[in-house]
Amino acid sequence: MKVSLSRKYAFAASHRLHSASFTEAENQRLYGKCNNPYGHGHNYTLEVTLTGPVNDQTGMIANLADLDAFVKARVLDDFDHRSINDEIPAFKSKVPTTENLCTEIFNRLHDFPHAKLERIRIEETSKNSFEYSVPATE
Amino acid sequence: MVTLTRKIEFAASHRYHNPALSDEENRRIFGKCNNPHGHGHNYTLEVTVAGDPDPNTGMVLDLTELKKLMEREVMSRMDHRHLNFEVPELKGKIPTCENIALVIWDLLAPKIAPGKLQRIRLYEAPDLFVDVTAGNGART
C-alpha cells in the first residue's frame, strides 16, 4: 500500500489567455472571455501531494511546517496577488492556462527535499480542476 | 470494477510528542501540535471499496453493512476520544494523520467483503488529508 499526504493552499492572481501564434480573431474565438485584453483573475486552490515512508520518530511523511515554508517561498510569494502574464517569467512566452500552471508549479516544487512530490492539483474555480503527476518513468 | 465511497466524521483530541526526544526537540519538530494539554480536530474519513456489482443486488457491498463496520471499528474507538490515551492501536505511535489512517486501514481491510478496500482518505482539516491506497508490496 502507499501513503500520501495532501495539503491545500490558496492564491489569487490575474491572467489573460492569449497566444502569439494566433490572430486576434482566432484568440477571440479560442479563448472567449478569457482573452479580454485587460485580463481577469481567479482564486486558485493548489493541492500538493507528497509520498514517502512514514518516519518512525515523527509519524509523518514530511513536516508540514517545512512544506508550508517551501510552498510559500517557491510558489505563493511569486503568484499571490500578481499578474501571471506580467510577473512570472515562465509565462512571458507561455499561455497561463491552468494546465501550464500545473507543470510550472510542479517543476518549482519538484525538489522538495523531505518527501517525493507525487501530484499537483489546481482548482481554477470550484468547477475546473487540473492535475499533473510525476511521469511514470521516473 | 466499480468503487463506492462512504464518509463519516468523528471528533478527537491528540498531542504530538515523542518521549525519545527532548522537550525542546519535540517543540521544534511538532510546533503547536506539541502543546502539553493537547488539542482536537473534526476528522472526516472516506472509505473507498472496489469490486464488481452483484448481479442480483446491483451492489458492490451493502452500504448498511459498511456503515455498521465503520461505526464499530472507527467511531466507537475514536469518536470523542483522546487518541493518545484511549486508542490501544495507536499506543507508542504519534497520532498523526498518517498513523491514524494506517491504523484505520489495518482495522478495516481484513473485514471488508465482498469487495476490497481500495483507499482510506482521512481529512484532519479541510486543507489537509492523507490517503492510504491499495497497492502491491509493503508500505512505502
**Is A7 within 8 Å of B137 (Cβ atoms)?**
no
Question: Is the Cβ of B133 closer than 8 Å to some Cβ of chain A?
Answer: yes
Average pLDDT score over residue span A62-88 = 97
Q: Which residues of B are catalytic?
A: 33, 80, 124
DSSP string, A49-95: EEE-PPPTTTS-SS-HHHHHHHHIIIIIHHHTTEEHHHH-GGGSSS-
Average pLDDT score over residue span A79-100 = 95
Phi (first) and psi of residue A117, to 5 degrees: -75, 120
| d(C-alpha A39, C-alpha B86), whole Å | 55
Q: Report the mean per-residue pLDDT for chain A.
A: 95
The pLDDT value recorded for residue A68 is: 98
Q: Is the pLDDT of residue B133 over 90?
A: yes
- Tell me the percentage of chain B whose pLDDT exceeds 90: 94
| d(C-alpha A10, C-alpha B86), whole Å | 36
**Is B10 within 8 Å of B74 (Cβ atoms)?**
yes
The pLDDT value recorded for residue B135 is: 86
pLDDT tens per residue across span A94-128: 999 999 999 999 999 999 999 999 999 999 999 99
Q: Is the pLDDT of residue B139 over 80?
A: no
Q: Is the pLDDT of residue B18 over 90?
A: yes
**Is B22 within 8 Å of B30 (Cβ atoms)?**
no
Question: Is the Cβ of B18 closer than 8 Å to some Cβ of chain A?
Answer: yes
Whose grid coordinates read 482548482?
A123
Average pLDDT score over residue span A18-46 = 95
The pLDDT value recorded for residue B140 is: 47
- pLDDT band at B137; cut points 50, 70, 90: low
Average pLDDT score over residue span B8-34 = 96
Closest-CA residue in chain A for B93? A59
**Residue of B105, B127, B133 lying closest to A7 (CB–CB):** B127
**Residue of B126, B128, B139 lying closest to A1 (CB–CB):** B139
Average pLDDT score over residue span B61-68 = 95
3-state class of B53 per DSSP?
coil
Q: pTM of this prediction?
A: 0.88
Question: Could you tell me which of A37, A2, A40 has the C-alpha nearest to residue A116?
Answer: A2
According to DSSP, residue A10 is labeled E
How many C-beta neighbours within 10 Å does residue A65 have?
14
Q: Is the pLDDT of residue A138 over 60?
A: no
- pLDDT band at A58; cut points 50, 70, 90: very high
The pLDDT value recorded for residue A96 is: 96
